[in-house]
Structure 1
Amino acid sequence: MQWVETTGRTVEDAKEAALDQLGIDASEAEFEVIEEPRTGLFGRMRNEARVRARVKPKSPRPKQERRPRRTRSRKDDAPRSGGDSAGADSETTDTDDEGSAEAPATKERPARRRRSSKPRSASTNQEGSAMSDEVVNVDQQADIITEFLEGLLEAVAIPGTVTRNKVDDDTIELAVESDSNELGLLIGPKGQTLTSVHELSRAVLQRRAPGRHDGRVRIDIGGYRRRRQEALARFVTQQAEAVAESGVSRALEAMNAVDRKIVHDTVNEVDGVATISEGVDPDRRVVIVPASE
């Protein structure tokens, strides 16, 4: 994925701006701090913080191989015969009688049980499934998630189809369509079930293809995301035009990273206004401000 570069009064502000631009959560992003913020005379800001970010490549981290332990050489721990023991006792008694300064014999340690020094393979994870550094391209990811969605439709007994739409070189959208009114069960209130379906698909993808995932696969069910995006864009356009006319900033309700990206992209098409983000997730919101601010 390509890097995006953003600035802010602090490093955290710059990171949040990058998340808004990418439309992802912090757990899915990789950051590099290019420049720390600097203040000048009287505490005035000289340079803003500058960071760059991109979607983090998804690849499982292999376990570090365990270093084999050193094994001690085994001593001869065969038991002595009774006669030898008696003879040794007799010799000790004789030397004691003679007043010898010879040190007493030390007891031999019993041989330890050797632990296996075979190193663990780094090619397996905790669940025993094979891990791989192989790159899984976006088309292969879409194949796996399509199979999952078709199985989900069959499991809930909803007739439907899954259509693939290529948004760009790095993004594919899978649209689940059906004439059944029950498709709303997979959307849920405010798209919550749809979000859960998306998370489940990512878990299935990670299990089926544990490599490095390049690109992104989005899921839309019943056109919900498309309608949501169009409605949000119309609302934001109205708010942006009002700010441009009145010169007074307007704060929108808290939104997730995907919706905030729609807001930023929409406002960029309106002259005389700009956007800033405030707060932290899940209460982070976008504020539409006059461009002169």
Structure 2
Amino acid sequence: MANNSGNGVIVTGGTVEDAVKRALLQLNVTLDEIDVEVLSSGSRGVLGMGREDARVRVTVRSRPYSEEDEESEEVVAEAEAPEAEVLDEEPAAEDVAAATAEAEAPAAAEEEPAAEEEPDDEEEPVAPPIRRPRGELLESGEDLENEAEDLLETLLDRMGFMADFDLVSEDPLAYNIVGDDDFGRLIGRQGETLRAFGYLVNLMLGRRMGRPCRVIVDVNGYRQRRADQLAELAETLADEVRATQEPITLEAMPANERRLVHVALADDEDVRTYSIGEGDERRVVISPRA
């Protein structure tokens, strides 16, 4: 999470290093272009309880952040993120639960392109490439499907969910978690926890497979319901903009939801969409076409 202040940007993360990496992605700068002030080193807590994120204030020395030099966020993430270590064993149950419940996928990893470009429909960040230290790399196709299902089953069981999942797509590989449990804590506010969970699944799969993986994870059809809601909202507000000829600014949304609004109105001849703001305060504007 990041907040703008009059003196730099305050960013949080699981560790100080994580917070600094998020700031680099958000501001599109390198380490030698910023000054970092550690506000809090954070705390891991006990068994995931009492955990506190680290907080840093990051100030750009050479230049302020500019949207003109904003690149594809996936390219930036791959360029800045260090190569992750390969896991020889699965993490402890409490670590999995804490990481899933508390971690946030880096906001920059899902940023939408500029408003005038064709919006990308990619929804899940892709885990960085990993080198497997011994043995041969697993094959794609069925092996990826088997590994993904085994990982989902393990994570859900360790998190205490009585749930199953359905394979809804093979390309890209996509699963819908189903069951009678209250999945509110797995979805989170505006799907934040679900995105973090999806990021964790892709990261751990990349470590198992020894290569980047993309798997989309949904819960009881939440993604589709949310997409339908946003499309309906976009059309309703577009009608209002056509009638008043005044722009409307939507509430702050995560990047994948902003992209859904862009896509919904991409072919509208009367209105256009673009984004304003930075970090967690980035919003979509629906405006009359000139």
TM-score in terms of structure 2 length: 0.53
Structure 1 residues 159, 135: closer, same or farther in 2, change over 3 A?
closer
The answer for the alignment partner of 2:259 in structure 1 is 261
The answer for the alignment partner of 2:173 in structure 1 is 172
Shift of 1:269: 4.2
Shift of 1:142: 4.2
Shift of 1:190: 3.2
Shift of 1:228: 1.3
- Spell out, residue by residue over 1:229-253, the C-alpha distance to the aligned partner (whole angstroms, 9 max, x if none): 1111111111111112211111112
The answer for the alignment partner of 1:155 in structure 2 is 158
Written as runs of structure 1 = structure 2, the 5 A alignment for 1:92-171 is: 129-130=133-134, 137=140, 140-166=143-169, 169=171, 171=172
Whole-angstrom distance in 1 between the partners of 2:145 and 2:126: 16
Structure 1 residues 201, 281: closer, same or farther in 2, change over 3 A?
same
Shift of 1:258: 0.5
Query: SS state of the match for residue 207, structure 2?
Result: helix
Whole-angstrom distance in 2 between the partners of 1:246 and 1:29: 44
Find the partner of 2:77 among 27, 45, 49.
Answer: 27
Query: SS state of the match for residue 182, structure 1?
Result: coil
Structure 1 residues 182, 268: closer, same or farther in 2, change over 3 A?
same
Query: SS state of the match for residue 286, structure 1?
Result: strand
Contact 1:274 1:288 survives alignment (8 Å): yes
Whole-angstrom distance in 1 between the partners of 2:76 and 2:238: 27
> Percent of counterpart pairs with the same letter?
28
Structure 1 residues 209, 218: closer, same or farther in 2, change over 3 A?
same
Structure 1 residues 240, 28: closer, same or farther in 2, change over 3 A?
farther
Whole-angstrom distance in 2 between the partners of 1:236 and 1:141: 36
- Spell out, residue by residue over 1:258-289, the C-alpha distance to the aligned partner (whole angstroms, 9 max, x if none): 01110001112433111112122222211111
Query: SS state of the match for residue 181, structure 1?
Result: coil
The answer for the alignment partner of 2:220 in structure 1 is 222
How many pairs align?
189
Q: Kindly provide the amino acid, as one letter, of the partner of residue 187 in structure 2.
A: I
- Spell out, residue by residue over 1:194-222, the C-alpha distance to the aligned partner (whole angstroms, 9 max, x if none): 12311221221122112244xx3211012
Contact 1:15 1:51 survives alignment (8 Å): no
Contact 1:237 1:267 survives alignment (8 Å): yes
Q: Kindly provide the amino acid, as one letter, of the partner of residue 147 in structure 1.
A: D
The answer for the alignment partner of 1:198 in structure 2 is 198
2:67 counterpart of 1:12: yes
Contact 1:249 1:288 survives alignment (8 Å): yes
- Spell out, residue by residue over 1:60-109, the C-alpha distance to the aligned partner (whole angstroms, 9 max, x if none): 37xxxxxxxxxxxxxxxxxxxxxxxxxxxxxxxxxxxxxxxxxxxxxxxx
Q: Kindly provide the amino acid, as one letter, of the partner of residue 27 in structure 1.
A: A
Structure 1 residues 181, 58: closer, same or farther in 2, change over 3 A?
closer
- Spell out, residue by residue over 1:133-166, the C-alpha distance to the aligned partner (whole angstroms, 9 max, x if none): x697576544322221122233344333211222
Written as runs of structure 1 = structure 2, the 5 A alignment for 1:72-83 is: none
Structure 1 residue runs without a partner (length 5+): 1-9, 31-49, 62-122
The answer for the alignment partner of 1:106 in structure 2 is none
Q: Which 4+ runs in 1 deviate beyond 6 A? A: 50-57
Contact 1:138 1:172 survives alignment (8 Å): no
Structure 1 residues 157, 280: closer, same or farther in 2, change over 3 A?
closer
CA RMSD in angstroms comes to 3.9
Whole-angstrom distance in 2 between the partners of 1:271 and 1:283: 27
Structure 1 residues 143, 269: closer, same or farther in 2, change over 3 A?
farther
Whole-angstrom distance in 1 between the partners of 2:243 and 2:117: 33
